[in-house]
Structure 1
Amino acid sequence: MPSTVQAESTNTTTTRMVHPLLQQFQQLFFVSKLVGILPQDLEKFRSKNVLEKSRNGAFYMVFTLIIYIILYNLLIYSFGEEDRTLKASQSTLTFVIGLFLTYIGLIMMATDQLTALRNQGQLGDLYDRILAVDERLFREQCVVDNSHISGRIKIMLIMTFFFEISILIATYIKLVDYTQWMSVLWVVSAVPTFINTLDKIWFAVSLYALKERFEAINTTLEELVATHEKFKAWLSGGDPYMDDSHSLDSSQPPPQYDSNLEYLYKELGGLDMGSLKGSGRNKVAPVAHSMNSFGESVQTGQKPQMNPMTVNMAHESELSNATKVEEKLNNLCQVHDEVCEIGKAMNELWSYPILSLMAYGFLIFTAQLYFLYCATQAQSIPSLFRSAKNPIITVIALSYTSGKCIYLIYLSWKTSLASKRTGISLHKCGVVADDNLLYEIVNHLSLKLLNHSVDFSACGFFTLDMETLYGVSGGITSYLIILIQFNLAAQQAKDAIQTFNSFNDTAGLMGAATEMGNESSTTTILYDLMTTTMMTPID
């Protein structure tokens, strides 16, 4: 009965000390709820910091999606005057690209909202699993700090508003005829990218939280290694606190311990004086402390000023006892597996939105540069891409779009590397301990880690890593060159046709003039012949 009460008290303390990750998502949730990205219940999140399904929230999301689609099509119709003459004035390639890319932003937005509507129940379970992982890490004395998550969310929101407002206002002032009242619909052009960015902030922050938990596990294992190295240095007569401010002089010999004080050592650290005999491995070291408290004479001139009651203690390393550390290593590896499973579940929830974002980024980046080239050649471009007429607005828009894609790829890559580095940190424990039993434990656990690595992909089409980023950059360059070459060929063919038509018109005019000249000469000859005949006297 007392053990049960103690266990319940421990769980209550753990729950109090571990704060849910969703507690840092307050501002992001309210903004996302307002624009219609999340269908979860608002009151449950405000009171309990949980994401629960809501029928009213689902209806509100569907309603906002329909409104956005209507307004977006109205925007295309209102600003489509020059689009209707684009095919006749420019090449068919430019017309087809503009027609396809006009709706890709709307498709991306609809993918984000419909995916969030489908995954509204699984998303809440995902953050509950993260909370359970934090509680298990806390029991292993591995605390994850979530306080800086809120600051990252604020920075992302500020950057999102800055880019969206900058692009919208600059385009509206410089490239839109704001004297007409229908120009107000230009605000709708920023809705798809704004909603997509808010959705990707949820993914990016959650992914960063997983990376923090992988790094916390790795840091705990590294601390075990560092502690054991200090312990081995202490056993060999070295100074385990050589990096601390209260370090002793390395030239000073270790103090001689009196067997009459053995009971004091046991009271202080539960250490056995008999373990000092022999030089075997994994021996328990005595307590290193200031002997002034016990009346022994030591030299104090080489030591800094310390409180006489302070005891300088070298704790036993956990890695020196394989059976004792086995449970901790096993628990850390189990938590690592659970974080990997959470990462896989998160990848499945955002697989379609990530794929649509990467496709949007690739196409928009290529098309924006292509339309910038067309604008420099005084060619007409689609109305919704009129920002390409201004190089500064183009740079801001491309920085905004590419920044989202690059950051998600980079963060996915770093999270995957952090998950794989746990195996290296685990093997360091086995190497520094130099114990056969611990080697067997490490090898067994490292096989589990090898089979539970996590990689992030876009619906399995490609992996989100730096190699993919390099391939995408090369693809954008290649397709941009191809589009420019097709545009040059189309313009040359168009100029040739116009030259040929003008030549035909000139030749026709010259032929008509020649024919008229021939007809007038014939008439003159006939007239002269008739006049001469009539005026000749008849014999």
Structure 2
Amino acid sequence: MKKMAQQTVQPILVHFGNLFLFCKILGLYPHDLQAFRRTHTLQSSRIGTFLVVVTMIVVVIFYNLLIYSFSEEDRDLKATQSTLTFVIGIFLTYIGLGMMLTDQCSALRNQSKIGELYERIRAVDENLLRENIFVDISATSKRIFIMIALTVVCELTILLSTYIMLVDHSEWISLLWIFSCFPTFYNSLDKIWFAMTLSALRQRFFMINSALEEMVESHERLQRWMENGADGSALKKPSFTNVPFDPSLEYLYKELTHMEPVKSFNYGKNRISPIAHSLNSFGEGFETPKKQPKQSSQPPPFNMVYESELNGDIQKVEEKLNNLCQLHDEICEIGKVLNELWSYPILVLMAYGFLIFTAQLYFLYCATQNQVIPSLFRSAKNAIITTIYLSYTAGKCIYLIYLSWKTSLESKRTGICLHKCGVVADNNLLYEIVNHLSLKLLNHSVDFSACGFFTLDMETLYGVSGGITSYLIILIQFNLAAQQAKDAIHNYDDESDSLVPTTAEGNTTTFLDFFTTTFMPTA
């Protein structure tokens, strides 16, 4: 208890320093840098807003300049390949840029709301600490560093390998290729914010559930201790508690042990039972020291037995359970706000992941058939680069879906843990309290979705995987049909050219005249 009281609540944004600085330099987030350094809070900033807008304009200009510099290849694509491949290439070329602009516009629109969200998380941590629940966030910085490192490594690997192997870097304009990675890089940094905040909410759900389960386990230990004590078996007690007690020696027993002799039917007649209170909240016994101070006003350490909060004052139990449920509701509300703030970026990311995964595999097939592919998707010409790119894109989408799903499950597990308390206590009044609180938990569950279109869970991931496979097969079939039609037309033109006769003067007749004069009888 004393150690818990000495703990202080540390704002979670303390561990977001490197990520915030990285995003600030790149012009992704508009919040005030000085306020973040001083108080670790996110505050709106006009200068930051101006820098984000300027960054958006600069990236859009250079991104379009990049597309224009490689436009000759796209014109060849339109002339030599099917219209479907050309349209897919043009659409997917700009969906990445649209994804980046969605992230930045959402950050501009939600400046004040994001700061309030982290303040609410800090308030939850303070209330949890009052309930003797300390949330350890020391590993947050390490996790953020690992995610940033993975993002930088993947982006540089894809960028450099594509530039060296597949881009003609003999011209200076090829340096514009660096802007091809900006949309995905900005999006990854923004999703690190979302993922780490969501992970923080999941951790707090877990701490509440652990506190409830600890109450159940402590009560079960107490019950086992009582049963073992009644049988005189498993638990080893001090030797003086297993001998008959003479009432005339009661004063001597108090003087030596500082314990009250209790006559209980659970321990037999005239047997000493330790008082059911302990300074050790986990009920773990201490070894009896060999030497005791001669003048000590403290009771001996072995005066520690199993205790349970569920076996105490029913009003205190009701108060604690009610506080935990209120904190659970507050975390659920924070989760709903978090989902609302990132709803559009998440929807665009999932759409981007679905389309890019399908298109990249389709362009990989086109490259194996020696077909021209869009200029910005030339990474599909190399199977290794394609594998890295798809793993990187799919990793972001799958991790966010998995984390959202696990957070939702953790929030719903609180009701189960609460009912365990009522069952193990076997108290009618407490069970009524549990039923009342569980109804509140049922009405305050949290589910994460992409603007309400679909829920972020494993079922959605399964559906997306099936959709990618289906559309990929359809695109390949259309490509095969288009190539067969082109080959048939090409062969027909070759045969037609071979059947066209040439006159002595070098003039040619039409295929119709040749057919008429050859096969039709003369009059």
Q: 1:409 aligns with which of 396, 401, 411?
A: 401
CA offset digits 1:359-399 (Å, max 9, x no partner)? 00000000000000000000000000000000000000000
In structure 2, distance between residues paired with 1:386 and 1:82: 11
Q: Is the 8 A contact 1:287 1:315 kept in 2?
A: no
In structure 2, distance between residues paired with 1:90 and 1:417: 48
Aligned partner of 1:229 in structure 2 is 220
Quick one: structure 1 residues 289 and 205, their matched pair in 2 at CA, closer, same or farther if it must change by over 3 Å? closer
Quick one: structure 1 residues 201 and 264, their matched pair in 2 at CA, closer, same or farther if it must change by over 3 Å? farther
Aligned partner of 2:487 in structure 1 is 495
Whether 2:346 is the aligned partner of 1:346: answer no
5 Å-filtered alignment, 1:22-33, equals 22-33=13-24
In structure 2, distance between residues paired with 1:105 and 1:151: 29
Aligned partner of 2:61 in structure 1 is 70
Aligned partner of 1:248 in structure 2 is 236
Quick one: structure 1 residues 76 and 14, their matched pair in 2 at CA, closer, same or farther if it must change by over 3 Å? farther
Aligned partner of 2:437 in structure 1 is 445
Note the C-alpha offset of 1:16. 6.7
Quick one: structure 1 residues 84 and 137, their matched pair in 2 at CA, closer, same or farther if it must change by over 3 Å? same
Q: 1:171 aligns with which of 162, 165, 186?
A: 162
5 Å-filtered alignment, 1:324-335, equals 324-335=316-327
Quick one: structure 1 residues 231 and 175, their matched pair in 2 at CA, closer, same or farther if it must change by over 3 Å? same
Note the C-alpha offset of 1:414. 0.4
5 Å-filtered alignment, 1:508-523, equals 508-509=500-501
In structure 2, distance between residues paired with 1:469 and 1:238: 53
Aligned partner of 2:304 in structure 1 is 313
> Which residue identity is paired with 1:287?
I
Quick one: structure 1 residues 366 and 304, their matched pair in 2 at CA, closer, same or farther if it must change by over 3 Å? same
Aligned partner of 2:467 in structure 1 is 475
What secondary structure does 2:447 align onto? coil
In structure 2, distance between residues paired with 1:495 and 1:476: 28
Quick one: structure 1 residues 328 and 511, their matched pair in 2 at CA, closer, same or farther if it must change by over 3 Å? farther
> Which residue identity is paired with 2:479?
N
Quick one: structure 1 residues 43 and 14, their matched pair in 2 at CA, closer, same or farther if it must change by over 3 Å? farther
Note the C-alpha offset of 1:408. 0.2
In structure 1, distance between residues paired with 2:343 and 2:302: 56
Aligned partner of 2:74 in structure 1 is 83
Q: Is the 8 A contact 1:233 1:239 kept in 2?
A: no
CA offset digits 1:41-88 (Å, max 9, x no partner)? 000000100001111110110010000100100000011211012111
Q: 1:124 aligns with which of 115, 118, 136?
A: 115
What secondary structure does 1:386 align onto? helix
Aligned partner of 1:527 in structure 2 is none
Whether 2:77 is the aligned partner of 1:99: answer no
TM (norm. structure 2) is 0.86
What secondary structure does 2:228 align onto? coil
In structure 2, distance between residues paired with 1:104 and 1:53: 28
Whether 2:177 is the aligned partner of 1:186: answer yes
CA offset digits 1:93-122 (Å, max 9, x no partner)? 100000100000000000000000000100
In structure 2, distance between residues paired with 1:341 and 1:121: 17
Q: Is the 8 A contact 1:368 1:385 kept in 2?
A: yes
Q: Is the 8 A contact 1:207 1:415 kept in 2?
A: yes
CA offset digits 1:418-466 (Å, max 9, x no partner)? 0000011111111111000110010000001111110000000000000
In structure 2, distance between residues paired with 1:26 and 1:391: 37
Aligned partner of 1:150 in structure 2 is 141
Q: Which has the larger radius of gyration?
A: 1
CA offset digits 1:309-334 (Å, max 9, x no partner)? 43241143110132221100000000
Whether 2:158 is the aligned partner of 1:200: answer no
Aligned partner of 1:287 in structure 2 is 275
> Which residue identity is paired with 1:20?
P
Aligned partner of 1:461 in structure 2 is 453
In structure 2, distance between residues paired with 1:49 and 1:175: 44
Quick one: structure 1 residues 511 and 343, their matched pair in 2 at CA, closer, same or farther if it must change by over 3 Å? farther
In structure 1, distance between residues paired with 2:277 and 2:43: 56
Q: Is the 8 A contact 1:14 1:135 kept in 2?
A: no
In structure 1, distance between residues paired with 2:251 and 2:80: 100
Note the C-alpha offset of 1:262. 11
> Which residue identity is paired with 2:352?
Y
> Which residue identity is paired with 1:53?
S
Query: Alignment RMSD, CA only?
Result: 3.0
Quick one: structure 1 residues 416 and 96, their matched pair in 2 at CA, closer, same or farther if it must change by over 3 Å? same
In structure 1, distance between residues paired with 2:508 and 2:399: 74
Q: Is the 8 A contact 2:7 2:134 kept in 1?
A: no
In structure 2, distance between residues paired with 1:80 and 1:35: 28
Aligned partner of 2:518 in structure 1 is none
Note the C-alpha offset of 1:340. 0.3
5 Å-filtered alignment, 1:297-446, equals 306-307=289-290, 309-321=300-312, 322-446=314-438
Quick one: structure 1 residues 144 and 378, their matched pair in 2 at CA, closer, same or farther if it must change by over 3 Å? same
Note the C-alpha offset of 1:346. 0.1
In structure 1, distance between residues paired with 2:251 and 2:180: 81
Q: Is the 8 A contact 2:332 2:445 kept in 1?
A: yes
CA offset digits 1:177-217 (Å, max 9, x no partner)? 11110011000001000000000000000000000000000
Q: 1:55 aligns with which of 27, 32, 46?
A: 46
Quick one: structure 1 residues 255 and 360, their matched pair in 2 at CA, closer, same or farther if it must change by over 3 Å? farther
Q: What residue ranges of structure 1 are gaps of 5+ in the alignment?
A: 1-9, 280-284, 291-302, 517-539
In structure 1, distance between residues paired with 2:307 and 2:7: 30
What secondary structure does 2:501 align onto? helix
Aligned partner of 1:217 in structure 2 is 208
Q: Is the 8 A contact 1:370 1:483 kept in 2?
A: yes
In structure 2, distance between residues paired with 1:507 and 1:67: 58
Q: 2:26 aligns with which of 35, 59, 76?
A: 35
In structure 1, distance between residues paired with 2:239 and 2:393: 62
In structure 1, distance between residues paired with 2:377 and 2:385: 11
In structure 1, distance between residues paired with 2:116 and 2:277: 50
> Which residue identity is paired with 1:216?
M
Aligned partner of 1:521 in structure 2 is none
Range that drifts further, 190-199 or 251-260: 251-260
Query: How many aligned positions are there?
Result: 481
In structure 2, distance between residues paired with 1:111 and 1:121: 17
Q: 1:111 aligns with which of 81, 98, 102?
A: 102
Range that drifts further, 247-256 or 48-57: 247-256
What secondary structure does 1:452 align onto? coil
